[in-house]
Structure 1
Amino acid sequence: MTRLMTLLTGRLPIGWLQLAHSRTRLIAALAGVAFANILVFVQLGILGSLNDSTTAPYTLFGGDIMISSVDANTLLDGSNVSRVRLFQALAVTGVSDATALYIENVEWSRPDGGTSTLQTVGLDPKAAGFVPPHLSDTMLQLLLPNTILLDSGTRGLPTAALDGVTSATPYRLELSGQAVSAIGTVRIGGGFTADGSIYASDQTFLNLFPNRSSAAPNHILVNVEDGVDPAVVVERLQEALPGDVVKIGTKADVAAADLAYQTTERPTGIIFGFGVIIGVIVGIVIVYQVLSTDVADHLREYATFKAMGYAQRFFLGIVLEEAVILAVLGFIPGALISWGIYTGMSVATGLPLELGPDRALLVLVGTILACVVSGVIATRRLAAADPADLF
């Protein structure tokens, strides 16, 4: 390791030698950095799963623009929209088609005795322009009453339970007291508000939720004519429809607003966001304590160098060398342990937890920056030290 550090730094690796001199302190420091990494990784993982589970349902339907109730912040909350808005939207220049979207949660008592909450999406199968391409082949089969597509990633459902499910060999279940046949699957997975999803026709949706009316969908989906900018049509719709009753945005903007609401206004998102900040602070404090103690232990040696004419940047380089070493070596076990935690949590909760290279790189860069900040703070004492006062 000493030879490697010599090649990297082009000089004697004083920082590494000082860290390696006390193996007990080095191990304790690396454990502290790894712990901070684990804390950040876990919080980012759960926050990421919240983001993924929030935006995933938007892949179940198409549309360029969404018309929602003015009090709707997510797909499920808020008042229903009058179907009249659909016909008003069709009269706006630039609109090519529109359809109603129904969403509601239903409880499913699984065969194993457990219960799963399923987010049910209802859409007219004949509205081809609003059916995602990956579902177009099976969508027309949902015209048969009480046929659905069931989420293969439903929390609590065995992985192989839906293998081989087709219209000829359906998976039968009971929802809202009615016999329902799953003739295919979708893949959304569990989230924070539901354990899985169901894709159904609008008529099957209304059968499952008899208290709902076809005249009051959750949202109106709108497609624009070819070559027309959706943003321009949004402005036209905002002028044509009452702004105190509905709000209008592109589908991408609505999904982004939903995500922002979940992460910045809902308690869950705020808590996990603070968890990331706390993890960073913990890492800074731990590394600062280690580096500050190291500076104090070698203050006389540093003072000797200072008296010989070495500049402050020389000492800063040594401390920053230690900081980067602690960051990199502490990151490795932290990432490995976090990967194991991700795997265990994903199996136990069904949440979409994945430690991808982008997240790993983000945490590594953040760890290095946090350790560098700690190193800069730790050298402030050395900068103010007078060699004459230390001998």
Structure 2
Amino acid sequence: MKHKTLLSIISLLAFTSAQAEFTKVADFEAGLDGAIEDSNAATAAEGRGSISQVDDPFAAGNKVLQLAPGSFLNGTGGQWTWFSIPLPPVTGSGTLYYRFSKETDLVSPVFGTSPSEETPQSYGDYSQVVGQAIDSIMIAYDDTGYTTTNIVLEAQTWYEFWFTFDQPTNVYSAYIRGGEYTAITPIIENAIFRSKGTTPQTYFYARSTVGSLTSPAAVDDVYFDDLYIDTSGTNLNAPGSAGDVGSGSGDTELTDSGPVVLGNGNVANIATRGAVGTGDSLLTAGFVIEEGQKRVLIRGIGPTLGTFNVTGVLADPKLTLFKDNVVLKTNTKWGDAENVSRITATSSAVGAFPLDAGSADAVILLTLDAGSYTVQLSGVGDTTGNALIEVYQAK
């Protein structure tokens, strides 16, 4: 079945000048050979912790990696089961994406990245790392210890995870989407690496903790799928989605893939990130409202991208909305808009990340008739830098 519901509401025509793009590291469709570099897992037949390629237990037609913890009654090798997957080295800023699910709440996994091929023996050996306690609450780690979050994972539900990080400054943020978190939700932001240094992040590690007879931890399986990396910077899109459009010039037409769903309820979102230059090198997105009137929230984000560890941001963006080559609306410095209170309320309702009232980001909120529209993002005074266009269908 095609994504007709979202496409009939608002559909993307084209992007230009976009740069962010994920590269697949592993999807486990062809098995584990060539994906897993190392592990301490036994075979399932041996009764201890194991890793296997299995059919997706929660979505038919897909192969995933199963990490089984084994039993604390089996002695050596059963208490910690782990695997490692090599990553393309990131010397600057990058984004790691993967999917995770669990059979029941009786699990205690930890996953993150490391600059070393040596197996992490403790949390301090990871650089960026999150995990789930046996009570299903997410825990995030930084250089001072750990933080218990308010993120709770449901069983038999796939979650998307993003690690955005800057290797030179040893800073990372972690985000999640799935289940009740219909918008991308922070787990931890601007945390300092546990294992600091200049060596690039080159390994993804995951482990499941069984514990001991007196202190049991996990008894059920966890699953991983779709490990991707973007070595160019921050990319809070799903691989292959509208916002993850690759680099270079020219147009990319969106067909059956549909817009990215980021907000609450029936909210369609289009996002594209790239470099804003001068002249013809502006950032542009187009969309179509196929029938009726729709209230649309359009955001041109520059300065606030800096809070997501994006460097070289567009300091003073100017957002312009066109229909049939006629300018309908422009905005700079969204906090000065006449409908700023409605913009704030609508942004919260659709799940968009908040903007400081005094930021120079640009926002347009208005009701549009059916038709084709073009959004253009430029810099005031021919300023340049990295920026993001977002288009939300608001209720």
When normalised by structure 2's length, the TM-score is: 0.28
Q: Return the TM-score normalized by structure 1.
A: 0.28
Q: Which has the higher contact order (CA 8 A, sep 6+)?
A: 1
**Would you tell me which structure has more helix in proportion to its own residues?**
1
- Structure label with greater radius of gyration: 1
